[in-house]
């Protein structure tokens, strides 16, 4: 099943510019990667972070600053953004894993709010306006990223690399331990695993890749804004993961595509988008907890059984 989905994914990624507006397709990939990174934590480690916007948006600001003000090429900026997000993930993660369950969610939300206020108040962030006019520049001095198709394949490469890292992490012994923690933390502890260290490693990895996605988004749209840091972005990524199927490899991608497409289609309806997003949340939690891919996998299993 995974093999087929991989092929479908790669074909879709390679051919998307033929039937989608490239900027829209790039936005999809950035948020899909963000959701996959988030899923590593929620779906595979059982930790609900309500502050992932801090990494996504934080990396966007860092990448923007490194590229625009310091004049580094976009790849350097993106890598810097991801690294800073990973460091931030280490700090926030180390604090948040001191408590469990819903306290974890509240702590990450509150800590992300500090990052939000930093984004509002620090001198280099542009306050309410955000960081605008980030140049796309060129890749390795050869490829001109102002060409939207070149930019598209650059983003596609980042997306696939990021996704592959997550895929490998999930299917490695490390990923097995994470799932053991999700299923039964006390048992994993009694088997001699340093649970806190594994949780923290998962958090740092998730934050770093969320940062990769955010930094890439900043280069695609050429700005970093307070919206990227806002709690509603943290909420959106939770919804993408939940809707697509948490704890499934490909679910978050599907969820991200649905949520972004919905926001795009409903852009003219003002705050009704928020109402609809809220209603989807409610429906998902009440009757659709497995998500799209989770339900599909269940149906497939029923059929073969």
Interface ranges with another protein (CB under 8 A)? 48, 95, 98-99, 101-103, 105-107, 109-111, 113-114, 117, 121, 231, 235, 238, 242, 270-282, 284-286, 289
Asked if 55 and 85 count as a contact pair (C-beta separation under 8 A), the reply is yes
| Shortest Å, Cβ 98 to another protein | 4
Among all chains, which residue has been given the structure tokens 């895929």?
A: 167
Strand partners, 138: 144
DSSP designation for 128: G
Task: Give the Cα separation of 253 and 274 in Å (integer).
Answer: 21
- Whichever of 123 and 192 has its CB closer to another protein, that residue is 123
Q: Measuring CA to CA, how many Å separate 220 from each of 119, 126, 237, 240, 263?
A: 20, 19, 19, 21, 18
Task: Give the Cα separation of 239 and 185 in Å (integer).
Answer: 25
- Whichever of 121 and 304 has its CB closer to another protein, that residue is 121
- Whichever of 53 and 66 has its CB closer to another protein, that residue is 53
| Shortest Å, Cβ 30 to another protein | 22
Task: Give the Cα separation of 160 and 169 in Å (integer).
Answer: 14
Asked if 13 and 189 count as a contact pair (C-beta separation under 8 A), the reply is no
- Whichever of 41 and 155 has its CB closer to another protein, that residue is 41
- Whichever of 25 and 277 has its CB closer to another protein, that residue is 277
DSSP strands (E only) in the chain:
131-132, 138-139, 143-144, 223-224
| Shortest Å, Cβ 158 to another protein | 29
| Shortest Å, Cβ 289 to another protein | 7
| Shortest Å, Cβ 39 to another protein | 14
| Shortest Å, Cβ 219 to another protein | 29
Among all chains, which residue has been given the structure tokens 């997306």?
A: 159
- Number of neighbours of residue 305 by Cβ within 10 angstroms: 5
- Whichever of 93 and 137 has its CB closer to another protein, that residue is 93
Token reading at 190: 């009694």
Task: Give the Cα separation of 170 and 246 in Å (integer).
Answer: 13
| Shortest Å, Cβ 202 to another protein | 16
DSSP designation for 139: E
- Whichever of 72 and 231 has its CB closer to another protein, that residue is 231
Asked if 38 and 29 count as a contact pair (C-beta separation under 8 A), the reply is no
């Amino acid at each position: 099943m995974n093999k087929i989905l991989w092929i479908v994914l790669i074909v879709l990624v390679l051919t998307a510019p033929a039937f989608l507006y490239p900027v829209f397709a790039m936005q999809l990939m950035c948020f899909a990667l963000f959701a996959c990174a988030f899923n590593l934590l929620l779906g595979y480690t059982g930790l609900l972070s309500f502050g992932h916007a801090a990494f996504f948006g934080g990396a966007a600001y860092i990448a923007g600053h490194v590229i625009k003000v310091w004049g580094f090429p976009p790849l350097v900026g993106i890598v810097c953004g991801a690294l800073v997000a990973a460091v931030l993930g280490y700090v926030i993660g180390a604090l948040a894993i001191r408590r469990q369950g819903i306290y974890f969610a509240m702590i990450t939300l509150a800590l992300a709010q500090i990052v939000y206020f930093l984004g509002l108040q620090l001198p280099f962030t542009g306050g309410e306006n955000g960081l605008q006019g980030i140049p796309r520049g060129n890749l390795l001095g050869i490829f001109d990223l102002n060409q939207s198709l070149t930019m598209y394949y650059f983003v596609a490469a980042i997306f696939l690399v990021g996704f592959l890292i997550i895929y490998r992490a999930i299917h490695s012994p490390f990923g097995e331990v994470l799932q053991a923690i999700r299923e039964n933390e006390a048992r994993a502890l009694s088997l001699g695993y340093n649970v806190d260290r594994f949780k923290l490693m998962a958090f740092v990895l998730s934050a770093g890749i969320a940062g990769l996605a955010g930094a890439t988004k900043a280069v695609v749209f050429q700005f970093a804004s307070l919206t990227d840091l806002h709690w509603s972005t943290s909420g959106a990524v939770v919804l993408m993961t939940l809707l697509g199927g948490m704890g499934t490899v490909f679910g978050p991608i599907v969820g991200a595509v649905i949520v972004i497409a919905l926001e795009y289609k409903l852009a003219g309806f003002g705050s009704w988008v928020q109402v609809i997003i809220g209603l989807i949340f409610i429906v998902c939690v009440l009757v659709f907890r497995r998500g799209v891919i989770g339900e599909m996998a269940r149906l497939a299993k029923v059929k073969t059984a």
